């Protein structure tokens, strides 16, 4: 009889031993924090969205006795300022911010951990600065190709969640629904604050509703937090309509050769609707050296038990690298 693998649980909650703000441009200041072991193996946690921000739960994937755990809120979200700002906020400025933070903290190389949009940013950072990355831990792979965007925001995921999708399209007149991304972008960057907030809530609720294999009302309720929703929706939509400002339609995967020497773990929920398995499979084919785990009973969320356990195990694997 085959043995059943027992995956680890999240580590207990901890508080930061250091918090700060780093001025990264004339306009933007980013929030960062450090927790765990100040002399430990440095790891940077890159959150999803873009625009999602970090939370205390994000510290819990890492052994606090082994890791120097670094969280940062990307431009325009969380505690970073100015709030929900779109100007001077691109994939490339975020990559620069990660490097600026590394230098500011006096770190030579670190483990890079990211899920969803955080996987996009982790991969892009590693491809630009492979000499600064000890290892990569990635979840819910997203590379911001046009087909990934249209699957979730136009036609694809809508066939699996027609009830939630109907709520998503409701703020948009039927005549504009042939390009939902463009229609949302006009409203989220417009001057009507009431319309902007209504669209931000609908945009955020659509993603929160589809994040787990089993619909979770507590996750959906996050979209009702206006502070979260407005930054999340505005920044996501801005990045997506601009294709991440990438240098080509397949930029992340086309540059995967640059990271094949870096130890890595890819964790993917088989029933991920937000970032479907196909993208993770495409990355696996480009980067076969990375350890690849398909979680059979999970969707997109890092907080689903199978995915969380795999992420903790991956972090444990690299704690002494």
Q: Is 272 a catalytic residue?
A: yes
Catalytic residue among 35, 80, 116, 204: 116
Supply the Cα-derived Rg of the chain in whole angstroms.
19
End-to-end CA distance of the chain: 34
Catalytic: which of 58, 73, 97, 272? 272
Q: Residue 64 burial (CB < 10 Å; 0-12/13-18/19+)?
A: middle
Q: Is 104 a catalytic residue?
A: no
Q: Which residues contact 122 (CB under 8 A, 6 or more apart)?
A: 46, 112, 113, 114, 136, 138
Q: Which of 198, 194, 216, 196 is nearest to 207 (CA)?
A: 216
Neighbours of 1 (CB within 10 A): 3
Give dist(CA 190, CA 255) in Å, integer: 35
**Rounded distance, CA 14 to CA 7, Å?**
21
Among the listed residues 47, 284, 293, 300, the single catalytic one is 300
Tokens of 179: 């390009």
Question: Would you name the residues annotated as active-site residues?
Answer: 116, 272, 300
């Amino acid at each position: 009889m085959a043995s059943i693998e027992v995956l680890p649980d999240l580590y207990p909650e901890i508080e930061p031993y250091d918090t700060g703000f780093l001025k990264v441009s004339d306009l933007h200041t980013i929030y960062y924090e450090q927790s765990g072991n100040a002399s430990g193996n440095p790891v940077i946690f890159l959150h999803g969205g873009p625009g999602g921000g970090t939370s205390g739960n994000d510290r819990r994937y890492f052994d606090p006795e082994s890791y120097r755990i670094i969280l940062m809120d990307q431009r325009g979200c969380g505690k970073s300022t100015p709030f929900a700002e779109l100007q001077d906020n691109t994939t490339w400025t975020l990559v620069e911010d990660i490097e600026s933070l590394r230098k500011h903290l006096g770190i030579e190389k670190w483990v890079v951990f990211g899920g969803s949009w955080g996987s996009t940013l982790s991969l892009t950072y590693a491809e630009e600065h492979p000499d600064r990355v000890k290892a990569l831990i990635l979840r819910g792979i997203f590379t911001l190709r046009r087909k990934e965007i249209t699957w979730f925001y136009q036609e694809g995921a809508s066939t699996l969640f027609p009830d939630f999708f109907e709520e998503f399209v409701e703020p948009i007149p039927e005549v504009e629904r042939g390009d939902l991304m463009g229609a949302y972008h006009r409203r989220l960057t417009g001057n009507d604050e009431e319309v902007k907030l209504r669209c931000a809530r609908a945009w955020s609720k659509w993603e929160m509703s589809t994040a787990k294999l089993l619909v979770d009302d507590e996750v959906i309720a996050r979209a009702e937090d206006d502070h979260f929703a407005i930054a999340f929706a505005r920044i996501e939509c801005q990045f997506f309509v601009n294709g991440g400002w990438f240098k080509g339609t397949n930029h992340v995967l086309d540059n995967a050769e640059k990271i094949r020497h870096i130890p890595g773990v890819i964790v993917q929920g088989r029933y991920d609707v937000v970032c479907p398995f196909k993208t993770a499979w495409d990355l696996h084919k480009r980067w076969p050296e990375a350890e690849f785990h398909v979680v059979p009973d999970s969707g997109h969320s890092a907080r689903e038990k199978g995915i969380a356990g795999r992420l903790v195990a991956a972090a444990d694997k690299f704690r002494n690298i």
